[in-house]
Structure 1
């Protein structure tokens, strides 16, 4: 992941970021022959997401590349014109809202675009979400934190049957163990009556730390306790951002700026398992 603007800016705005820590991670990586080359910017992202704890950073790097190697349903066929990603774009709206929270957290907003369960493929939608996260990091570098706000309007019981267990397990594993970003809040609002059935599927794969930042908001007004209303699209009370329809089209088109990066990531951000030390503590 190469940053749009220079790495020096990261040291200026992150006083806890130390060059010595970057060097230590670089030296450790030289002993991990199965992990591909990692840029200095990527090391900074991993350090920042782990609050500069070195051992936690190493584990996140290991999980990041192992997940991207193993979970083909999310990290292969990253062509934005592919059938799967176009299907995801048709099924859901995902967008980074223009304005952050008062704490500086960036918000990825989501909502069903097509409410027909037959059009919904969870793996493709998670893949699209991960591409939005990658694009956000490329554009902005380290950020205070990430908030996911998903409107459940239009969800049907048929969607529950599309929540494959392995897809849920793999997606949550990557988010909890390999995400190079600080996950701060997850909001599901305008809840549906069968939310308990969804929770029964996802809860077994969630660590307590992720469960603790999950907010189940019956109405969007409950979400406003954490996220100011003005950051939302104009479709919502008090919202001042563009409409959901406008954001739906603009945001997907914006991803095409990074298509070459996505191609390269698919090729290079994988481990070489033939070089992994099976006796290492990093083998899992």
Structure 2
């Protein structure tokens, strides 16, 4: 079976789109690396590509990149259900894959955006855990930080096989965890597109929009069942699998390729379980972990352009 590889976006174009250049990125990476070495509470293992991710996703702001990088490591301790026990070969992963398919499209669109598709393939609420979905998505993003720089994500949620019972975990508290976690990962969302939604989903979307920043809330689109015409205005057919009117491969094959990609990163995920912030060494006030969001005030909100 072929391996999943991502079409490389033009790094110079991405730098230009955020008001900089490749030369500036190189200079800032060196400064961010030197700053990281001086932080006794933070791990020092970040790859150059990971540092580039934080710089590009903060529009080449060195100070914001420092904040995001600190948050990236800090959040692992406070939201372990998303960032610990991330073995892609664990038996529990079978339940997740029995319910859902995950696809990260290898091709980017003309704006250097990457598209991620999450598709329900079973309505079984007994084996569905919404926190496992988020953990898997953040596992995917860990790989993108190194292998697939982009200008942002289009997240596609296909709810054609979703049941009302699978919505139980979508509470305001859970949405807040997702918001804070995505901010710590410096994720830039260009759009969230919900396909094949049933009526109850509209109430959930309204609740979600009330929690998110207005600019991001406006980027949530619910598309009519089976009607991809408007959807294709956001994500072109050329990068989509055939199930969504596209011309690139199919969901089954792409889902398997992404699973294999995560399995190839297994050693890294297991190692990172023990790569945490040491709050006893943090200069200044210790980050408060009394509640899941006790630390969130010092983190920026989800990045939107």
TM-score, L = length of structure 2: 0.80
RMSD: 2.7
Partner of 1:275: 281
CA contact (8 A) 1:101 1:228 kept: yes
> Within 5 A, what are the aligned runs for 1:1-284?
14=15, 15-16=21-22, 17-37=24-44, 38-140=46-148, 142-175=149-182, 177-218=183-224, 219-237=227-245, 239-268=246-275, 270-279=276-285, 284=298
Q: For structure 1, which segment, 218-227 or 11-20, has the greater mean C-alpha deviation from structure 2 after superposition?
A: 11-20
CA contact (8 A) 1:50 1:182 kept: no
Distance in structure 2 (CA, Å) of the matches to 1:254 and 1:82: 15
Q: Tell me, which stretches of 5 or more residues in structure 2 are unaligned?
A: 16-20, 289-294, 299-305
Q: For structure 1, which segment, 240-249 or 92-101, has the greater mean C-alpha deviation from structure 2 after superposition?
A: 240-249
Distance in structure 1 (CA, Å) of the matches to 2:140 and 2:168: 25
Distance in structure 1 (CA, Å) of the matches to 2:78 and 2:287: 19
Aligned in 2, Cα 1:229/1:39: closer, same or farther, shift over 3 Å? Answer: closer
Aligned in 2, Cα 1:233/1:271: closer, same or farther, shift over 3 Å? Answer: same
Distance in structure 2 (CA, Å) of the matches to 1:250 and 1:26: 33
Aligned in 2, Cα 1:41/1:233: closer, same or farther, shift over 3 Å? Answer: closer
Displacement of 1:48: 0.8
Number of aligned pairs? Answer: 273
Displacement of 1:204: 4.4
Displacement of 1:214: 2.1
Secondary structure of 1:147's counterpart equals strand
Q: Tell me, which stretches of 5 or more residues in structure 1 are unaligned?
A: none
Secondary structure of 1:18's counterpart equals helix
Deviations 1:159-212 (Å, cap 9, x if unpaired)?
A: 22132444332122111x212443322211222211232124433442234223
Secondary structure of 1:111's counterpart equals strand
Secondary structure of 2:160's counterpart equals coil
CA contact (8 A) 2:113 2:151 kept: yes
Distance in structure 1 (CA, Å) of the matches to 2:77 and 2:55: 21
CA contact (8 A) 1:112 1:155 kept: yes
Distance in structure 2 (CA, Å) of the matches to 1:102 and 1:243: 21
Displacement of 1:106: 1.3
Displacement of 1:146: 1.8
Q: For structure 1, which segment, 29-38 or 150-159, has the greater mean C-alpha deviation from structure 2 after superposition?
A: 29-38
TM-score, L = length of structure 1: 0.85
CA contact (8 A) 1:88 1:128 kept: no
